[in-house]
Amino acid sequence: MDLESYRKKLPIDIEALHICCAEHSVFYEEVAREAAEAKGEAEQAKALLELAEAQLDSAIRARPEDYGLAKITESAIKSAIVASGQYQTANTAYLEARSRSGELDVLATAFDHRRSMINNEVNLFAANYWGQTSIAEGQKAKNDIAERIARKRNQRGS
């Protein structure tokens, strides 16, 4: 699932706490599983980057002239490795995998916070905190929360 679909599941509908409670563990499991898979993919991409680096190092040492090197120095070898297309491709794949892993870790943390907030809302409900509010007031509070979330997302996007 794409990250935006998960983000849309984060808000808590205080008018439907029973549904939020019922769905939360499924949402959290999905995000946590994807975060673990993304971490594995990032580790695999790192291993492939290191492999590409090792292969290039060996190839450059064996035939430096193929890489435009007249003199073999550690600095020249490192520069030739980093400049190669094979290394650049592997590095880009690693950076993308690491970025996705980080984003999913943030989402997993957000869903953990969501769990705490659901617990807090249930406790407030049990204490009849919302007992004196009208449906219009509850809807206004819900709209205010949605507006704050939208503003924060827009600020991050700017």
Instruction: Match 């699932």 to its residue by tokens.
Output: 1
pLDDT tens for residues 76-101? Answer: 999 999 999 999 999 999 999 999 99
Who has greater pLDDT, 130 or 156? 156
Tell me the per-residue pLDDT of 122-144, one tens digit each, with 9 for 90 and over. Answer: 888 888 776 665 566 667 777 88
Global pTM value: 0.72
pLDDT digits (tens, 9 = 90+) for 13-67: 888 888 999 999 999 999 999 999 999 999 999 999 999 999 999 999 999 999 9
Per-residue pLDDT at 135: 61
pLDDT for position 134: 58
Average pLDDT over residues 107-132: 87
- Residue 65 structure tokens: 């002239």
Burial class (CB in 10 A: 0-12, 13-18, 19+), 111: buried
Q: Considering the chain, what is the average pLDDT of its residues?
A: 90
Token pair, residue 132, equals: 């004196």
Are 101 and 43 in contact, with CB atoms under 8 Å apart? Answer: no
Domain boundaries, the chain: 13-127, 133-158
